[in-house]
Amino acid sequence: MPSDALRGVALVTGGGRGIGASIARELSDAGMRVAVTGRSSEQVHAVADELDGLALLGDATDRDDVEGWVEQTERELGPIDLLVANAGVAGSGHPFLEESIEEWWRVFEVNVLGAYLCCRTVGARMAERGHGRIVNIGSGGSYLPIANPTISLGTSYGPSKAALGRFTEILAAALGQSGVRVFLISPGLVRTSMTERMGDNAPWTPPELAPRLVRVLASGRADALTGRYLHAEHDDIEDLIARSGEIAANDLNAIRLRR
């Protein structure tokens, strides 16, 4: 895979740890100026300091926080070229009938509303400028069989990621004429504090694959795949780029009901 050199500014939500931190590091290594968000001051500042980036504290579900992030990023670093909506949570871990309504709904608030607020706020500015890229972090938990280990993340996690996936596809169409490209990726089953409960025997994905995929998407070389579902482990992004015409013509890399 080519090592894409990048320019511009990236905003990575949930960038203080796990997949988000790895993506932030990859983008910084590629040449982007990076702002990272999160609720843990120590984690967010540690990553931002490491990258000579911008630390932004707050909650992705809070409109004022999100608007503040975007305003501060563009004031201090410049116009946002890439949004990576990575902030996400799993279920509480409590059995379905013992989980509170508030715990169940919180997953949707973070995984769907949080992504929406970020996409809306950043997307409006991108559309006004006529360019930009958005990467939403989805999950195989949105469609894989119930026997898949992601079922352990609760009854709200998979449905929330399914909603995010459909939102991303429609958003790509809605913003496409404005020059904004929108992607949905699955990082695979990466071992993080969120997925640790799955245990040592889970089919773990190498953690470097998702950051590498985001780097390619940030380069613009895969813009023809906007709106498509891209898997960091099971898709060869270079092959998909080469076959982008065929993929669009046959509606591939999309979650559909087939009869």
* Parallel/antiparallel/unpaired status of strands 80-85 and 9-12: parallel
Active site residues: 157
Structure tokens at 124: 């409006």
Nearest residue to 217 (alpha-carbon basis) of 195, 244, 190, 192: 244
Interatomic CA distance for residues 95 and 27, integer angstroms: 38
3-state secondary structure of 240: helix
* Parallel/antiparallel/unpaired status of strands 33-38 and 9-12: parallel
Nearest residue to 108 (alpha-carbon basis) of 70, 134, 142: 142
Which residue type occupies 140? G
Contact 210, 191 (CB under 8 A): no
